[in-house]
Chains A and B, each alone.
Chain A
Amino acid sequence: MTAAIEFRGVSRVYGEVRAVDDVSFTVEAGEFFAMLGPSGSGKTTCLRLVAGFDTPNQGQVLLDGADVSAVPPYERNVNTVFQDYALFPHMTVLENVAYGPRVRGVAKSDRQASAREMLELVQLGAQGDRRPAQLSGGQRQRVALARALINHPRVLLLDEPLGALDLKLREEMQIELKSLQKKLGITFVYVTHDQGEALSMADRVAVFNKGRIEQLAAPRELYLRPATAFVARFVGSANVADSALAQRMGLGAPFAIRAENIDVQAESVVPAPDTVSVPGAVVAVQFHGAASRWQVQLEGGEVWSALLPDSRRMNGLSVGSRVKLTWPRDAAVPLTPA
């Protein structure tokens, strides 16, 4: 079956900067696809290439198997929810939502009826006659959503839509967006720099760094088996040992180990078989509610962290104590050298 979106060797260059550097991937129809990465990593540029606000310097962008480089945004079956919502202030909420049908020539009564339906879908049925300036951030976000969905696009692009909302609202919207996507069956492409968001909502996540995709996999795979040091650090918190450090520890290749897989034990304790043990000194203990993060400085000066549940008795160990960090040998994830 043809992929909803396909990138083939796409590059986008601005002068010296390679915003997108030879990127290829596919997005399947009906999936919730996240593009994750820090600012400037190229994820938003890729989104804009799909929407049509930008054209690649090299390579092809295909929608439903067809090359769209000559197709303007208004002729692609793709709609966007913008980071700043981009609601038109001189139109009412209803007129904003009805904008898509309006520019395609739909009659006023028809398009207003559809718009009202859409607003009901996002639970804003009563707000139709108000202006965007009169709504709260969360409400505006829903209007932007309704406005984009009314055209029944094949793909919905979301550019960090929840960034401006506070934590509680963000968590609610995450659940709503996910269930909306399941209900409508539309392909969602979701850009974010928040790895928690990507992991909890997406079917697959592409991790971007410096214009390239470091890893593209399902959230669980990304978390348990990061392919590179960057992914290991960016998704969840991990301690990364490069080749030099791995050598010093007596282990061969670079690897990553998640903080929650490391145990902190007294210096005198004999490690169990098949565990790796590394000496160090405790420099800080941070209480995080259900767990505590122990920061331990290794002999070479690096600081590694271990996440220990509250139930774990620490028997007199505290800041300054000399300890051993231990973990099961197979809990370490080998990394490709960066």
Chain B
Amino acid sequence: MTMRAASTFFWRRPYWYLALLLVPPLLWFGTVYLGSLFALLAQSFYAIDDFTAQIVREPTLATYRQLVTQPANVDIVLRTVSMAVAVTIACALIALPIATYMARHASGRMKALFYVGVMLPMWTSYLVKVYSWRLLLAKEGIVAWFLGKSGLSGLLDALLATPGIGGPSLSSSYIGMFLVFVYMWLPFMILPMAAALERVPGSLIQASADLGATPSQTFRNVVLPLAVPGIAAGSVFTFSLTLGDYIIPSVVGAPGYFIGMMVYVQQGTAGNIPLAAAFSVVPILLIFVYLSVARRFGAFDAL
């Protein structure tokens, strides 16, 4: 069949053409990705036999019961969620001046420089960034040296001594973890925010000034509300990324477990895949809930 005849064949039957294009990727996706998600769900409904430590392949709610009734498990979920919320808020606050400057005050080269400057750390290897923070936060590392030189070591010790967020050293404390999370996800918050801020038409700012508003009033009443979709979009990233992460809590970790770590540990040494699966269903559910809330704030238009 010549190319032209083949082309005309598909022109007359557009659905065949579609099928030809979609079958290979869907086949892959269906088996590898969707298949594994279903397997995960299936596993969460199995349980581990306490005596043989083998997976009993019979549907049961025992694993989920274990998840929601044992206080240690509930603790883990609460701890992870509160960290995710804290990180999201901190990222939003820090990103605001950067995104505002990038989108509304920088021009031409400076703006390009800022965009590349924000994206460069985002593109740098995840593991390398986590590792670098280990170095930074170490007892003899830069942060300690800097604080020592500026006379703030007392503050650091006080912080570390605070129960709940402190720890033996920065690199094994909640506050250290918090810093790393904020650092890692900051670009993910800055970029959608800057994009949303940039989309505010200049004419609106001028109209507001024309009607008598001061620059800060204009910012609060006109620009900020219009930036909300960008903030919502960015928060989706910071929230879900923090929720599911297990590397950062183990590298810059405090003794308390996080969801991600729990999943990792359960499937590893404990071999308790059903419990690991049940644990991982939690972030899926939470993220779906968060996504539907974020969508109401316009996050999907800003992605």
Question: Could you tell me the distance between the alpha carbons of A72 and B7 in the complex, rounded to whole angstroms?
Answer: 9
Chain B, Cβ-Cβ closest to A72: B11
Question: Could you tell me the distance between the alpha carbons of A75 and B4 in the complex, rounded to whole angstroms?
Answer: 10
Interface string of A69-86 (1 = CB under 8 A from B): 010100100000000000
Question: Could you tell me the distance between the alpha carbons of A204 and B79 in the complex, rounded to whole angstroms?
Answer: 77
Collect the chain B residues with CB atoms within 8 Å of residue A72's CB.
7-8, 11-12
Q: How far is the CB of A79 from chain B (nearest CB, A)?
A: 18
Tell me the interface secondary structure of chain A in the complex: loop
Interface string of B1-26 (1 = CB under 8 A from A): 00000011001100000000000000
Question: Could you tell me the distance between the alpha carbons of A31 and B82 in the complex, rounded to whole angstroms?
Answer: 75
Collect the chain A residues with CB atoms within 8 Å of residue B12's CB.
70, 72
Q: How far is the CB of B1 from chain A (nearest CB, A)?
A: 15
Q: How far is the CB of B216 from chain A (nearest CB, A)?
A: 42
Question: Could you tell me the distance between the alpha carbons of A70 and B8 in the complex, rounded to whole angstroms?
Answer: 9
Tell me the interface secondary structure of chain B in the complex: helix
Interface residues in A, total, Cβ within 8 A: 3
Chain A, Cβ-Cβ closest to B10: A72
Collect the chain B residues with CB atoms within 8 Å of residue A75's CB.
8
Question: Could you tell me the distance between the alpha carbons of A70 and B11 in the complex, rounded to whole angstroms?
Answer: 9
Collect the chain B residues with CB atoms within 8 Å of residue A70's CB.
12
Collect the chain A residues with CB atoms within 8 Å of residue B8's CB.
72, 75
Question: Could you tell me the distance between the alpha carbons of A72 and B12 in the complex, rounded to whole angstroms?
Answer: 8
Chain A, Cβ-Cβ closest to B9: A72
Question: Could you tell me the distance between the alpha carbons of A72 and B5 in the complex, rounded to whole angstroms?
Answer: 11
Q: How far is the CB of A285 from chain B (nearest CB, A)?
A: 35
Question: Could you tell me the distance between the alpha carbons of A75 and B12 in the complex, rounded to whole angstroms?
Answer: 13
Interface string of A169-203 (1 = CB under 8 A from B): 00000000000000000000000000000000000
Interface string of A46-78 (1 = CB under 8 A from B): 000000000000000000000000101001000
Chain B, Cβ-Cβ closest to A70: B12
Question: Could you tell me the distance between the alpha carbons of A75 and B8 in the complex, rounded to whole angstroms?
Answer: 9
Collect the chain A residues with CB atoms within 8 Å of residue B7's CB.
72
Question: Could you tell me the distance between the alpha carbons of A75 and B7 in the complex, rounded to whole angstroms?
Answer: 12
Chain B, Cβ-Cβ closest to A73: B11
Question: Could you tell me the distance between the alpha carbons of A211 and B115 in the complex, rounded to whole angstroms?
Answer: 49
Q: How far is the CB of B241 from chain A (nearest CB, A)?
A: 39
Interface string of B133-176 (1 = CB under 8 A from A): 00000000000000000000000000000000000000000000
Question: Could you tell me the distance between the alpha carbons of A89 and B12 in the complex, rounded to whole angstroms?
Answer: 29
Chain B, Cβ-Cβ closest to A52: B11
Q: How far is the CB of B3 from chain A (nearest CB, A)?
A: 11
Question: Could you tell me the distance between the alpha carbons of A75 and B11 in the complex, rounded to whole angstroms?
Answer: 12
Question: Could you tell me the distance between the alpha carbons of A72 and B8 in the complex, rounded to whole angstroms?
Answer: 7
Chain A, Cβ-Cβ closest to B8: A72
Chain B, Cβ-Cβ closest to A55: B12
Chain B, Cβ-Cβ closest to A103: B4
Q: How far is the CB of A168 from chain B (nearest CB, A)?
A: 30
Q: How far is the CB of A67 from chain B (nearest CB, A)?
A: 14
Q: Can you report 6 residue pairs joining A to B where beta carbons are below 8 Å apart?
A: A70-B12, A72-B7, A72-B8, A72-B11, A72-B12, A75-B8
Closest 6 CB pairs of A and B: A72-B11, A72-B8, A70-B12, A75-B8, A72-B7, A72-B12
